[in-house]
Structure 1
Amino acid sequence: MSLESVKAHFKQWGREQDVMEFDSSSATVELAAETIGVIPARIAKTLSFRGEEEKAILVVAAGDAKIDNKKFRQTFGIKARMLSAEEVLEQTGHAVGGVCPFGLKNDLDVYLDVSMKRFETLFPACGSANSAIELTGDEIFEYSLAKEWVDVCKDWEGAELPEKVAVRS
């Protein structure tokens, strides 16, 4: 159901056919990078946090970025507390491993972390543990109906990025 809701979401931009489905798992940053043949940093991961009034906050960040608790608190005014797998499914309609900011079950606030701005394109999941789509940062912003770009991550600045990645055959 989740993959279908994402494809239905992309239909409004005529992009539903661009959703890629894989024979292998893309449920983690590492698996997705290996499956697609890109560096892990180019996987756009969606992190789910407990917001105010039981409404989740979604932060989409580069695959090599980690939440900086101090920056998160300064930006959102609350402590960064991730949702449980059950809460993620309840709030987003997507199971862990396929969480994305598209085709959501509920109207949630989506924010994009600046860690993704290093890349021309990134690969967010599409609602299942074996799907993705290649999008620019601007497209992710538009298609996710994001509120704004934020700076709430660490450990990605100055990271060495290889030119190419060996694709598994």
Structure 2
Amino acid sequence: MADAGQKPTAVEKFIAAANDLGFPVVVRTMDQSTHTATEAAAAVGCEVGAIVKSLLFLADGAPLLVLASGPNRVDTEILGRLLGARVAMSDARGVKAATGYSIGGVPPFGHPEPLRTVIDADLLRYEVVWAAAGSATAVFSIEPDTLIELTAGEVAPVS
């Protein structure tokens, strides 16, 4: 943890947020980057589909977090029809502002404010999935049902 007076790292900030939600997270810090789904899967030794990509979109201008399975590309038209909104990808500045984290390290929860969240139905095929824990080299595992509970996520097909 950060020393008194020092700003906590992004990973420490995520761990504190997870603990506040009653989720005792165990973060694995890797020597190599887990910035992409393929890199993360190789680092933890799982299928790419078990990697959670935390992607920020704007639905009629409001932040919308989509938790997508590693190989899937989010189809904004499908998502827009599902939500009854115009959906577009957020830029890096918007990601940081809404989540408190930089692209590549955005966790699925623990943001400054709760975000409306859509969870890719494909993630439910796995007993355990892996998500970013605040940095491009830190990940944690979680059961999909717990992910749904902690994010208050809506499960839907996103691709």
Query: What TM-score do the two structures reach when normalised by structure 1?
Result: 0.82
Pair 1:130–1:149, CA change in 2 (3 A): same
2:21 counterpart of 1:9:
no
Name the structure 2 match of 1:59. Answer: 66
Which ranges of 4 or more aligned residues in structure 1 deviate by more than 3 Å? none
Report the RMSD for the aligned CA atoms in angstroms.
Answer: 1.5
Separation of aligned partners in 2, 1:33 and 1:19? 15
Name the structure 1 match of 2:128. Answer: 121
Task: Please list the CA deviations of residues 102-151 of structure 1 after superposition, one character each: whole Å capped at 9, or x if unmatched.
Answer: 210233111211011111111011111111111111011122232x2122
Contact map agreement 2:59 2:80 (CA 8 A) in 1: no
Separation of aligned partners in 1, 2:23 and 2:90? 32
Separation of aligned partners in 1, 2:40 and 2:105? 10
Counterpart code for 1:88: V
- Bigger strand share: 2
What is the deviation of 1:94?
Answer: 0.8
Name the structure 2 match of 1:79. Answer: 86
2:107 counterpart of 1:100:
yes
Percent identity reads 28
Q: How many equivalent pairs are there? A: 150
Among 39, 51, 55, the residue aligned to 1:31: 39
For structure 1, the 5+ residue unaligned runs are 154-169
Query: What TM-score do the two structures reach when normalised by structure 2?
Result: 0.86
2:52 counterpart of 1:44:
yes
Pair 1:115–1:14, CA change in 2 (3 A): closer
